[in-house]
Amino acid sequence: MTEPTDECQECTSARSVSRRRFLQAIGVTGAAVAAPSMFSAQAAFAAGPHRGPVLVVISLRGGMDGLSLVPPVGDPNYAKLRPSIAVPQRTAIPTDDPRFGLHPALAPLRPLWDSKRLSFVHAVASADTSRSHFNATAELERSAPGTNVHSGWLDRVLRVNGRNATFEAVALGTGGRPGHLVGESDVLTMRSLSSFTLAGPDTLCPAMAKALRALHSDPKAPQTSSAVATLTALDTVGTINAQRAKAGAPATAYPANSALGAALADAAALIRADVGLAALAVEIGGWDMHIALGNAGEGQFAALAGQVAAAIAAFAADLGKDFDRVNVVTMSEFGRRAGQNGSGGVDHGHGNAMLLAGGGLVGGKVHGRWPGLAKDDLDQGDLAATTDYRDVLAEFLVRRAGLGQNAVSVVFPNYKPRPVGAFRRPTA
């Protein structure tokens, strides 16, 4: 008898495919900003201020189960479809909406919910219905179905903003460039602030930097501006790291051994340093739970959701009042089936839930039109999607980032977003 696995066949067969090979396979080249090989990260552009909101996009890789994150405890079909893995109403965090609770692992976020700086959008999805990790991820991050546009939606946001600043867009954690930032815009990619250094022994780095500045001192040379900007970025990060070391650990600890927590701690440092950060991308995988998702709100989903909740809660506490100029948005390539499978997990589905945190929210609410989980309401056994991701993102761009409709039409071509009501209208 074959032992059950929590990996779908698609993931198992492609386990050895790297992100770079995957991007090449779907026709994306230059997935990271080019830089001289002597540098351990990429930076080759000018600096500039940013006074608008900071968008933090957390990609939940693998297909996060929105019906566990925001369980529809008031829908009688929920427990029937998931007899052993449904989150019980008695343990779900109440939302003041009898239709929904929150997974108990989200308890660290309760203060944000109570202060109206946390909300969710349910029954949300992209236009892709393939239920394929690779296809769905590519289409979600491109967000231009039915067009020949190959760039990522966040790259197009950067282009309509037109600032082209060194720290405007940063991808943290993997050292790679995520699909939503693929395109013409310059993006700073790094594994962490502490790893953003010249490659080589620490004792030689100052001399190397001095030699590089001398080498690229000719203002007429084509590489000068890139080299100087890169060295300046390295100096900036070095100053931030020194300030963090002097200040010591934040009052609220980030979760231990958490890549997401470490990335958000770095993000908080960049935001406090006021270096012009406008968009930050980070990801956390492990959501492809075909087996043993967990019983009664406990298990592997609870562990991963709890890590996300603890990281975001620490991020908010670390930033204090500055969290009000941040918006955290979670996105996942698809949701999971409405009904559990025979292995105590859930297979690939469609409709999902989206977490929003930060300032400018109509918070303490689950947004979106709930389609229900009755048999006739399902989409081929999945939660039906009633809200497109682009509706939520476009509302952020208009109401929080101040973009006009013409700019939004560039970001999301051939699509007319519908209002969601998740973000407050700007006051005059």
Q: Per-residue pLDDT tens for 280-337?
A: 999 999 999 999 999 877 899 999 999 999 999 999 999 999 999 999 999 999 999 9
What's the CA gap between 154 and 234, in Å, rounded?
24
Q: Are 404 and 426 in contact (CB under 8 A)?
A: no
263-266: long-range contacts, CB 8 A cutoff, minimum separation 24:
263/172, 263/173, 263/192, 264/56, 264/311, 264/312, 264/314, 264/315, 264/318, 265/314, 265/315, 265/318, 266/172, 266/192, 266/193
Alpha helices in 34-121 (DSSP H): 66-69, 76-81, 110-114
**Considering Cα of 284, then 363, then 365, then 426, what sign does the dihedral take?**
negative
Q: What is the pLDDT of residue 12?
A: 57
Q: What is the pLDDT of residue 7?
A: 59
Q: Are 297 and 103 in contact (CB under 8 A)?
A: yes
What's the CA gap between 122 and 386, in Å, rounded?
8
Q: What is the pLDDT of residue 23?
A: 28
Q: What is the pLDDT of residue 252?
A: 78
Q: What is the pLDDT of residue 120?
A: 98
What's the distance, Cα to Cα, between the start and end of the chain in Å? 66
Collect all residues with Cβ–Cβ distance below 8 Å to 351 and sequence separation of at least 6: 66, 122, 123, 124, 125, 335, 371, 379, 382, 383, 384, 385, 386
Q: What is the pLDDT of residue 40?
A: 52
Q: What is the pLDDT of residue 4?
A: 46
Q: Which residues of the chain have pLDDT under 50?
A: 1-4, 15-38, 42-47
Q: How many CB atoms lie within 10 A of CB 92?
A: 21
Collect all residues with Cβ–Cβ distance below 8 Å to 264 and sequence separation of at least 6: 56, 254, 282, 311, 312, 314, 315, 318
Collect all residues with Cβ–Cβ distance below 8 Å to 426 and sequence separation of at least 6: 399, 400, 402
Q: What is the pLDDT of residue 144?
A: 97
**Strand (E) or helix (H) holding 90:** none
Q: What is the pLDDT of residue 428?
A: 58
Q: What is the pLDDT of residue 326?
A: 98
Q: How many residues does the chain have?
A: 428
Q: What is the pLDDT of residue 30?
A: 27
Q: What is the pLDDT of residue 21?
A: 39
